[in-house]
Amino acid sequence: MSFWSALFGRGRGAAANTAKLSDPVDYKGFVIRATPYKNNGHYQCSGIIARESGGARKEHRFVRADAYASYDDAVNFTLNKARQIIDLQGERIFD
């Protein structure tokens, strides 16, 4: 497998790094979905914050350095982090 294939998730290792979406959570008019993915044997904190605005869907994707041994712990942290982002930035996350 080439360096570029490994870097961009193509090839044999791609399936192992695929993010699994959590159930959507509504928070202050936003929809949050945790998308933790396996990274070096742990689940990396990753998620999507979305909102319908003016008839268009806007999304903000984020990844944090935090990693957890269990999928459920990663989901819980990701959802809490997304709530914090919404509380601090609100609509500005889509700028």
All residue ranges of the chain with pLDDT < 50 are 1, 3, 5, 11-16
Which helix (H) or strand (E) segment holds residue 68: the answer is: strand 56-68
pLDDT for res 6: 52
Does a structural domain hold residue 72?
yes
- Number of structural domains in the chain: 1
Task: Assess if residue 90 is contained within a domain.
Answer: yes
DSSP state of 40: T
25 located within any domain: yes
48: nearest Cα among 87, 17, 19, 68: 19
Average pLDDT, the chain: 86
85 Cβ contact partners less than 8 Å away, ≥ 6 residues apart: 49, 60, 62, 93
CATH number at residue 29: 3.30.160.350
Instruction: Classify residue 63: in a domain, yes or no.
Output: yes
pTM reported for the whole predicted model: 0.77
Give the span between the Cα atoms of 79 and 22, in whole angstroms: 10
Domain range for residue 24?
18-94
Is 42 among the domain residues?
A: yes
